[in-house]
Structure 1
Amino acid sequence: MNRQGAITVLIAADLGNSETKMYINDQFLKQPSVIKRLFSKPENLELDVEKSILNLDHELLVNVSSQAIRRDGLFMIGERASRSADVENMNIKLGNKYKHDLPVIMLLGMVASHEVRNQYMEQGALPNFLEVKAKLSTAIPASEHTNEKAEALRRRILDHSHHVTLHVGEQQVNVQVSFDDVNVTQEGIPALYTLRAANHEILKDYVSLYDYNISEEKLDKLPKKIAEKNIVHVDIGDGTTEFNYTEKLNPVLDLSDGQRFGVGHATQEAINLLKSEVGGYLDLNRQQFMDIHRDRNNPLHKDAVNKLMEAKYTQSRLLLEAVQEKVVQTAGRVNFIMVYGGGSIQFKTELYEDLIEFAADAKLEVIWVPEEYAINMNVDGLRILNEKVLYA
């Protein structure tokens, strides 16, 4: 804490349609991007404060009062909300993330809970009040990014003091969150910073695919070398796929955009197919469907896997055509197609071989980022941007 008692933090936040991921200083946290507005506080069965703190990520309940959102209220956030019906998640067909309240509520709730837990762990008791001052870097999709929209989101967060009441069991902690600086960039661009700073493991599949036999010294320099080439980025997300084109570390904005297809659209179609399979007696959001998809013991697991596979094939054809069009637009200047994002894991079976074949015909090479790096390329890049460039 500084002399005034305020906690100062540095935040890198990927406000995704599926998950909200962030670094607060050097600590990583994530939650499903879903909220549920409540009109009365639910009954609490856990009275032990320490148990409530340990379980806080799974039971997030906050009052948010801020001029940055349209209406103050009491919200379940993240994992707790995803277990409920009638929840709110990002409308992946409409987009306009910069206008939506959900990302702001997710951001404020997660920051408040993180700092309250840290204070409890350090002091052994719940504080009554915390003041948090933050510097933040985040991004909005290329499909909707303009300087005006980025500035609109920046001002929403920067221009107001935000008040969060965190419910910990039967107790409450008041948290005031304000931002000294906010940087809003375009999704996909931070991934370049991740690539430049990475070790050669991020290119292990690429090196194996093209059977490169180079020295350890050259291998260590390869990520930075490739980052300085001309790259079509294919960042497959939940609601959008971002196609960013960079030349020698600089984004070419006229050739960078996004389109509204991805895992979320395939998931929504799979939900409709699964609903028909069970006679219409099913009401799921995307997060709940994916819970079934991951749970081998769920009676609908096999059906969910099959329906998502059908839906992903259709989306993969759209993705392949979009990548091909983007390469054509670069007029022969591109060296690499780099694929990452959470959707790159889901779509690899349907898309990988066809993309390799296309790249070979076009005299390009494909970098399909390994799963352990792909899902956090943007949030890792935002963190690097914070620490190495903006707030070094």
Structure 2
Amino acid sequence: MKLQFNVGNDIGNSEQAIFIDGELIRQPNVYASAVSIPWTDDETDVSKNLKNIYDNLVVSIISSAVLTGTYLIGRHALKTEGENVSSLYVKGNNAKSDQMIPYINTLGTIAARAVEKANESGTLPESITVICDQAIALPVKQHTPRNIETLQSKFMNGSHNVTVHLGLTKKVDVKIDFEFVQVLQEGTPPVFALQMDQESNWRTENYKTETNSKEKVKPSNGGIFEEFALEYNLGEIDGSYLDGKNILHVDLGDGTSDFPYTKGDAVDKDFCHGVNHGVGHAIVEAVDDLLVLAPHAFNSISRQQYSEILISGFSNKKHKFLPEAKQAFKPHLDNQINQIMQHVSDQVLKIGANEIDLIVVYGGGSILMKESILPKLKTLADNNRILLFYVPAQYAVTLNAEGLDWFVRSPLYSKLKEDFKETTKRIAASRE
């Protein structure tokens, strides 16, 4: 069986949100190495794992991009290994392109999607070949020629052989080849996703109905623009309202926060800025405090597990130790917010208030930071006569992935791919 996938890949520090063949898959961005296959038989394990493939994802990978090995990915790794998982290192200047997680989790999830799609068609072959086009984004500070080349070469140089283990003996071998990988700077994809839905209509509500992840936050009652339109008496608006606007983005992440400036659909690289501040840093600092506040509840806890406790505050089922988690978290979060606000203020001064139509706030960190940072941002915006669009929680986390999915299927991506092929041909011809 041969499949062709378009991949829009947001490799977040806490969560990977990835569109594969138009379907959104969200996983904790973690993995754990496995010594052996955890399944005991085929009769019960295969059907269970096919039904919940992303919750029970075990793969073996042979690829020049990663160390050969067997890996538990995402929720399965977190469930079985707890804090003993590998995650993106958020401190220092460690580029995502130099760490193994983007490659292991992307290859494993693409392979799982291939198995899922084959199974949906009524057949489960022993092997599948997948040809991919991929759009991926890097934070502002990491979007350098070196890091771009690293990502492209690791994905595009050679085939990646991934075995998806469904039972003790039942497995599917998936060969993955990337025809082209375009690396965007964070800030560009949300411009696309805020304006357009997946069918390239002006956006009003969801980009696409989410089918492959559990709802993590309560949905808002209206569309993506309802609260914003009410705040500024704009009437009924859709994504066309943002067309051509000058936007200062505040992308609040786990390990980084980015402040790109876009004019229309283009990033103005003279005014792009990013910092190593985010909720992940606050969580890392809060872990020891939580263990003191709830000594009988936890021996240790990973950053992702702590994040899940905090996010439960926005769901119908709150974690028993949410109050202690929030108590430990808040002072460290306030420190991060103070740093972030300074950088946002600096960006407004550098760009000039007259050149900014809107400040748009989104990202995984925007949910946990909202209570504390929203009043500060509103004061800053009002003082500078700038509109503030704080994207509702239901939509805030997946904007990068949605924009990447839209882009990888766009004529612009096709043109870049053709240009790449022509350049490759010319280089090859010059060497003959």
Q: Distance in 2 between matches of 1:277 and 1:46?
A: 44
Structure 1 stretches (4+) deviating beyond 4 angstroms?
Answer: 278-281, 295-299
Counterpart of 1:156 in structure 2 is 154
In the alignment, is residue 236 of structure 1 matched against residue 252 of structure 2?
Answer: yes
Cα deviations by residue, 1:41-85 (Å, 9 ceiling, x for unpaired) = 33536732222211221111111111012x211110000111214
Distance 1:342 1:297, change over 3 A: closer
Cα deviations by residue, 1:9-31 (Å, 9 ceiling, x for unpaired) = 11111111111111112211111
CA contact (8 A) 2:77 2:85 kept: yes
CA contact (8 A) 1:143 1:240 kept: no
CA contact (8 A) 2:381 2:388 kept: yes
Counterpart of 1:106 in structure 2 is 105
Q: Distance in 1 between matches of 2:369 and 2:319?
A: 23
CA contact (8 A) 1:195 1:224 kept: no
In the alignment, is residue 308 of structure 1 matched against residue 333 of structure 2?
Answer: no
Correspondence 1:109-188 to 2 at 5 A:
109-124=108-123, 126-170=124-168, 171-188=170-187
In the alignment, is residue 288 of structure 1 matched against residue 305 of structure 2?
Answer: yes
Report the 3-state secondary structure (helix = DSSP H, G, I; strand = E; otherwise coil) of the residue aligned with 1:202.
Answer: coil
Q: Distance in 2 between matches of 1:371 and 1:278?
A: 28
Q: Distance in 1 between matches of 2:262 and 2:35?
A: 47
Q: Distance in 2 between matches of 1:111 and 1:98?
A: 18
Counterpart of 1:351 in structure 2 is 373
Shift of 1:331: 3.0
Correspondence 1:211-230 to 2 at 5 A:
211-212=233-234, 214=235, 216=236, 219-220=237-238, 223-230=239-246
Counterpart of 2:426 in structure 1 is none
Counterpart of 1:31 in structure 2 is 27
| One of 53, 56, 60 as aligned partner of 2:57 | 60
Q: Which amino acid aligns with 1:76?
A: L
Cα deviations by residue, 1:229-286 (Å, 9 ceiling, x for unpaired) = 2111001111111110112322111211211111211221221211233459632111
Q: Distance in 2 between matches of 1:299 and 1:356?
A: 33
In the alignment, is residue 92 of structure 1 matched against residue 90 of structure 2?
Answer: yes
CA contact (8 A) 2:112 2:164 kept: yes
Distance 1:44 1:291, change over 3 A: farther
Q: Distance in 2 between matches of 1:151 and 1:224?
A: 34
Q: Distance in 2 between matches of 1:225 and 1:291?
A: 34
Q: Distance in 2 between matches of 1:239 and 1:289?
A: 14
Cα deviations by residue, 1:67-122 (Å, 9 ceiling, x for unpaired) = 012x2111100001112142100001133101111111000000111111221221
Cα deviations by residue, 1:117-164 (Å, 9 ceiling, x for unpaired) = 22122124x321111111111111112111231122111101121011
CA contact (8 A) 1:12 1:136 kept: yes
Counterpart of 1:261 in structure 2 is 277
Shift of 1:168: 0.1
Counterpart of 1:10 in structure 2 is 6
Shift of 1:313: 2.0
Q: Which amino acid aligns with 1:179?
A: F
TM-score with structure 2 length normalisation? 0.83
Cα deviations by residue, 1:161-188 (Å, 9 ceiling, x for unpaired) = 1011111022111111111111111112
The 10-residue stretch of structure 1 (325-334 or 72-81) with the greater mean CA deviation from structure 2: 325-334
| One of 199, 203, 206 as aligned partner of 1:199 | 203
CA contact (8 A) 1:13 1:20 kept: yes
Counterpart of 2:18 in structure 1 is 22
Report the 3-state secondary structure (helix = DSSP H, G, I; strand = E; otherwise coil) of the residue aligned with 1:367.
Answer: strand
Counterpart of 2:219 in structure 1 is none
Q: Distance in 2 between matches of 1:46 and 1:273?
A: 44
Counterpart of 1:390 in structure 2 is 413
| One of 395, 400, 404 as aligned partner of 1:373 | 395
Shift of 1:208: 1.4
Q: Distance in 2 between matches of 1:308 and 1:144?
A: 27
CA contact (8 A) 2:160 2:175 kept: yes
Distance 1:58 1:253, change over 3 A: same
Distance 1:45 1:309, change over 3 A: farther
Q: How many percent identity over aligned positions?
A: 29
Distance 1:207 1:156, change over 3 A: same
TM-score with structure 1 length normalisation? 0.91
Distance 1:46 1:291, change over 3 A: farther
